[in-house]
Structure 1
């Protein structure tokens, strides 16, 4: 959501709160005039912006489309659409997510390969990694488990899970997932030069 839209939404919320506390029509009329003074058409603009931002119609996506998970560097293919949900394949790892967390991606043949079971090879680092930034813990669980499956099937003993820092809620969720997986030998945050607390390094038994 844009900064302008956030500001408009805040104004609207304040106006609604005042309206609820209002005891007479004069107060309500004053609130309405203030809204109109700011922008005569801002209610319509807000409605249109919210619709375009949140209510993404299935018509905008088709099975087979290459999409990007909003807020992450993950690019994948839409396998199935179901109302407001989509099943996406990111480097062979399939997971379900809300359509409003997806956006059309510009296909880059160097960075996207449609190969089931493949892993992402990070350029300039030569490491295997998965980017789950922007996902919820529930969404990330299946992705992380499939990532571990792929590490093992590709005879890799180490991988990098990029979850970002933020409140560390996702990082804690990832650590819990790894703690319960007997295939994991060890896991730790990456050193500062490799992402620090925003990246977890996983070692396979």
Structure 2
């Protein structure tokens, strides 16, 4: 299957579940202390510059960042998600776009987060996506990436009663760190944790990286 067809399946799936996703996941940061702490690091690193939420879904992370005083742009593949994000979080800006072709200017962002969005990319798309993230970050800009830990690929055919066809690629921290390095980032911090009772039962990985100045 072509990359465009694969992304089309992801877009269609998230469009189908957008309202349910907002109801089920939209308040998740309330019980994610580690995520809030790492997002706080991103806000501080941005130093008042623009922050991108890449794969923003219904905009709850972007909304939280905005409440911390950050200027935020959320970007998502799903127009249904973008519509909800604009409705629920008017303090942030939202754009429709693909991780491989971000609708942003070179160096537009001081920092960016990609929380569980790269898990929908095919293995060969990860490095190009990270290179695109580097493009839209200013020199020495901060990037926070999170993902499910492992090597499996899980296919979801039904989600909250909606038929979908979405693959979730679990990733290994060392491999993601290596790909970030190839794309022009230096990984500065790594964290792994177990899933919370409120989450799917998977282990989670986080990498905090800085765009190389060159």
Q: Normalising by structure 1, what TM-score?
A: 0.38
More strand as a share of residues:
2
Q: Normalising by structure 2, what TM-score?
A: 0.37
Higher CA-based Rg: 1
Q: Which has the higher contact order (CA 8 A, sep 6+)?
A: 2
